[in-house]
Structure 1
Amino acid sequence: MVRWFQEVPWSKYAAKASTSVVYAIAAAVAVSFFYDSGNIYSSGVTGIAQIISRLSTQMIGVELPLSIVLLLLNVPLFLLGWYKISPKFTLYTGMTVAFTSLFMQIIPNQVLSTDPTINAIFGGVLLGAANGYILKSNSSSGGLDFITISIRRKTGKTIGSLSIIFNSMIMVAAGLLFGWQSALYSALAIFISGKVTDAVYTKQKKMQVMIITSEADAVIHGIHKNLRRGITIINEAEGAFRHDQKKVLITVVTRFELPILKQIMKENDPKSFVSISENVQILGRFYEEDL
C-alpha cells in the first residue's frame, strides 16, 4: 500500500483531485439548486442521505446536516470497494466523497425554479453528467457505485441501468414518506441521471469491429500495440468484384477506444473496410482496465 502511494506521480494525484472537485461542485449544485427546490431525491447514497436528513427534522426536531450523513453512509461501503474493486479506486473515491460533503456544506440552497419538472430535468442531467465524468476518470461518487461496478463486472450490465434498478427503492421510500408526487419527480430525475451517465461513461459500451484488410499484419500489430484486445483472424477472404484476397479481423473494443482504433486503421490501412456493431453483449473474458 505504501509502495503504491510512493510510486504514483504527484501529477496524477493533482488530476484526480481536480476531477473530484469538479464532480463535487456539480453534485452539490444539482442538490442545492434543483433537487431541494423541487422536493426531489437524488440517486444512490445521496438520496438516502437526503431522506435521513429530512426525517431527522420531523422525528427529533433537529436537521442532521446532509454532508455529515452522506459521509457516514459511505464509510461501510468503502470496505466493499477496498476488497471487491481495488484500494486505489477506493482511496480516489474517498477523496471525491470528502469534497462532495464539503461543497454540500458550503454551497447554499438557491431556488432557481419551483417547477419540479424543470428541477428534475436539470438536476438529473447535471448529476448524470458528473457521474459519467467521474467514472471515466477511474473513480466514482461512492455509495452505490461500489455495488453497481461490482455487479457490472460479473453481469456486463451498464452502470446507468443498474443505478435505475437500485434507485427504485429510493423512489418508493420517498413516496411512502413524503408523498407520491415527490416519488414521481424523483423517478424522473433518477431516470434522466442514469441515461446521461451511460451517454458520458463510454468505457462500458462494447462494440464489435469487423475489419476486411489486405494489410492484416500491420493492423494487428497496431491494435496489439495500442489496445489490449484479442483478434480473431479469418484467412482467405475474397472480394466478389475484383476477386482479390483479403483477411477478415474481428475484435471487440469499447466506445472510449474507438477513436484510437480509427487512428490505427488510418495509419496502417486507410483503404480497409471496417464494420462496427454497437452495444454488443459479451460472454466470456473481456479485459477491462483496473480501477
Structure 2
Amino acid sequence: MKKLWQKIDWIVETILGSAAFALGFALFLDPNDINTGGVSGLAMVVRELLGFGSVGTLTMLINIPLFLIGGAKIGKKFFVGSFIGMVLSSVLIDVFALIPWNAPEPLVSALYGGVLCGAGLGMVFVAGASTGGSDILVRLLKKRYRNVPIGRISIFFDTTVVLLTGIVFKDISKALYSGVVVFVCGQVIDAVVYRFDYSRVAMIISPEHEAIAQAIGEKLDRGATYLHGAGSYSKKDMEVVLAVVRKGQLAELKELVMNIDESAFVIVQEAHQVLGDGFSHYSPDAL
C-alpha cells in the first residue's frame, strides 16, 4: 500500500508540476516573447525563425533525442516520468495558449511567469522526473557536479537560450526580461526542491550545559553533542552544546535555553541537508 501511494504521489507531482510550468509559460511568458531558457525557450526562438509552428509541438520535436539520451542514462523511473512531463507540458502549453487573456506588462509577466515555471519544474524534479529537454541535461549535470544546487545549473544552462532570444527577436529588452525569468525560476526551483531540508544548528555556551542538553532531548526530542572548549580570557574549560533542530523548533529552543540560563551565549546558523536519524537520509539520486 505504501509503495502504491508513493507511485500515486510521484505521478500527481509530475502532472501538477508540468501544468504549473505550462501555465506560467503560456499565460505570462510566450505572449511577451520572453522565456525561461531551456528547450521551451529554444522552441520559441525556432518558431520565430521558421515563421510557423507552435511552441508545444516544436518543444516535443526538439525533446526526442535528448529524452532518449536521458532515459538511457538515468533509468526507467526517470524515463517514464520525463515522458509524462514532456508530453503534458508540451500539450498544455498549446492548450493554455487558447485561454483568452491579456498578459501583464513584461516585467510583471517575467516575475509571475518565473515563479510559476520555477515552482512547476521544482515539483517535477522532486518527483524524480523532468519536463524533458534541458531538464534532462540539468539532471545529468547534477549527477556529475553533485555539490552545485540544481537551480544554479539550470540558470547557467538557460543563459545561452536567453542570449539567442535577444539576437533572434532583435530586441535586447526581451533578453533582459528573459534573464529575470531565468534567475527567478532558478531561485524558486531551489526553494521547492530543498523546501523540507532547512534546519538550524545551535551552539550554546553555558555552565548549565547538562540541564540544557537534557531539556533538548526531553522537550524537543533532539540529540545534543558536547564540544570541549576553553575560554580565551578566563582559560576555563567549558562544554559547548551543539544541537540541530528543525526550523520550526528554533523559537522553542531559544525559550528553553533562556529559561534555564538567561545569560547563556547562543549562536544559531542555517544548516542545509542534514543527514542522519530524525532528518533526511543519503541517496545517490538526491538533488
- TM-score, length-scaled by structure 2: 0.70
Contact 1:33 1:110 in 2 (8 A): no
- Pick aligned residue for 2:158 from 161, 167, 174: 167
1:23 aligns with 2:12: no
For residue 278 of structure 1, what is the amino acid of its counterpart?
E
Match of 2:59 in 1: 70
Q: Which runs of 5+ in 2 are unaligned?
A: 205-211, 275-280
Q: Displacement of 1:112 after TM fit? A: 2.3
1:198 aligns with 2:193: no
| Cα separation, 2, equivalents of 1:206 and 1:85 | 27
Judged with a 3 Å threshold, the aligned counterparts in structure 2 of structure 1 residues 155 and 19 are, in CA distance, closer, same or farther, namely closer
- Pick aligned residue for 1:143 from 133, 158, 167: 133
Q: Displacement of 1:215 after TM fit? A: 5.1
Match of 2:123 in 1: 133
Contact 1:156 1:281 in 2 (8 A): no
Q: Which runs of 5+ in 1 are unaligned?
A: 1-6, 58-62, 225-230, 252-256
Secondary structure in 2 matching 1:17: helix
For residue 200 of structure 1, what is the amino acid of its counterpart?
V
Largest Rg, 1 or 2: 2
- Pick aligned residue for 1:85 from 59, 71, 74: 74
- Pick aligned residue for 1:39 from 26, 33, 37: 33
Match of 2:7 in 1: 13
The equivalences for 1:100-115 within 5 A come to 100-107=89-96, 108-113=98-103, 115=105
Q: Displacement of 1:223 after TM fit? A: 7.7
| Cα separation, 2, equivalents of 1:288 and 1:277 | 25
For residue 151 of structure 1, what is the amino acid of its counterpart?
L
Q: Displacement of 1:120 after TM fit? A: 1.2
Q: Deviations over 1:244-275 (max 9, x none)?
A: 98575588xxxxx9469x59x98xxx769985
| Cα separation, 2, equivalents of 1:55 and 1:135 | 31
- Pick aligned residue for 2:168 from 168, 171, 177: 177
| Cα separation, 2, equivalents of 1:204 and 1:52 | 38
How much is the aligned-residue C-alpha RMSD, in angstroms?
A: 4.1
For residue 22 of structure 2, what is the amino acid of its counterpart?
A
Q: Displacement of 1:41 after TM fit? A: 2.2
| Cα separation, 1, equivalents of 2:228 and 2:33 | 64
Match of 2:147 in 1: 156
- TM-score, length-scaled by structure 1: 0.69
Q: Displacement of 1:170 after TM fit? A: 0.8
Percent of aligned pairs with the same amino acid: 25
Judged with a 3 Å threshold, the aligned counterparts in structure 2 of structure 1 residues 43 and 288 are, in CA distance, closer, same or farther, namely farther
Count of residues in correspondence between the two structures: 258
| Cα separation, 2, equivalents of 1:112 and 1:119 | 11
Match of 2:84 in 1: 95
Secondary structure in 1 matching 2:31: coil
For residue 115 of structure 2, what is the amino acid of its counterpart?
V
| Cα separation, 2, equivalents of 1:145 and 1:137 | 13
